[in-house]
Amino acid sequence: MCLSLQAEENDSAYYLKQNEDLKTLEQFKDSPEMINAKLKEVENINFYRSHINKRPVKFDILASRVANMQCYDAAVNGYMGHWDMNGFKPYIRYSLAGGKDHVSENASGQYEIGMAAPVMEDTDRALDYMKTGLKEFMSEGPGGGHYENVINVYHNYVGIGYFCTNIGGTNQIRYYEEYIDRYIEWDDFPLTCGTGNKFLISGRVNAKDAGVFAVIVFFENFPRKMSPSEISAISTYPDYTSNVYRQLWPWNIDFDSDSQRFKIPLKFDKPGFYYLHVMLKKGISSIPYNKPASVSTEGLVNASGVVIQVR
């Protein structure tokens, strides 16, 4: 399952313009020099992917700013992990910034004592740190969580986060990767809702001959704040919760096979975060939209990072 990408997405001028136009999280906006350094890191990622016959990923500005935000928080507060101090996991951070696609995070922390303090303006040194983080991920080899995230066949975009500072004589360097699975053109709907209100999620699948196979809505309470030591003690994060609020299978889903458009009407009965997995399957004609059948989501791609905040 792969999208055709615009030719200009290979050109740094395209990303520099996107960087100037995007108004979200402007406090975590990269300099033009850092954008070019990160484009080189995307080339490094694609070097590894190409060696095992995986299609390249493209750079994503919004995901990079979300990653920069996490890098900043982690470096300044001296932790390393996937939660932030608000208790938010990667998919919540990305959604709160307006992202709707599925996101998977890799995180790296480097520490130096007795060395010159790094500065953000030194993008050559920044790129060296990024390369080191990526090499650490790839050194895990097949089966390693970070390795598998880098080479995942469904990823088609990536955001790169970086921040460095010196705290108490220790250089704190953080490098985060946010891999995106972008196969849906989402309609413009809000990501907030009131309790008991009707809510419609809609869009169009833009992967060739792919349809919506399942929708799984996970609920989680608004999280409590976390300390740096709590965050650092947890090495991985679940991309779901144990509380399944609703499941929809093909025969429950409003999907038009010709246009590949879909609608998901929902209603939320209590405050919290509602995280949607929208599972896609190739071969629209094989999806049982008309009557119940034996089904499984094994091997399918989740193309949704939609999180609805209900108050």
Buried b (16+ CB within 10 A) or exposed e, 49-69: beeeebebbbbbbbbbbbbbb
Each residue's pLDDT tens digit, 16-72: 999 999 999 999 999 999 999 999 999 999 999 999 999 999 999 999 999 999 999
Q: How confident is the model at residue 10 (pLDDT cuts 50, 70, 90)?
A: low
Cα 242 to chain center, whole Å?
A: 20
Q: How confident is the model at residue 4 (pLDDT cuts 50, 70, 90)?
A: very low
Report which of 301, 296, 293, 276 is spatially closest to residue 205, judged by C-alpha positions: 301
Phi, psi values for residue 77, rounded to 5° = -100, 0
Q: What's the pLDDT at 151?
A: 98
- pLDDT surpasses 90 at 11: no
Domains contained in the chain, CATH given: 7-181 (3.40.33.10), 184-310 (2.60.40.10)
Q: What's the pLDDT at 9?
A: 67
Output helix, strand, coil percentages for the chain, rounded to the nearest 5.
30, 30, 40
Query: Residue range 202-227: average pLDDT?
Result: 98
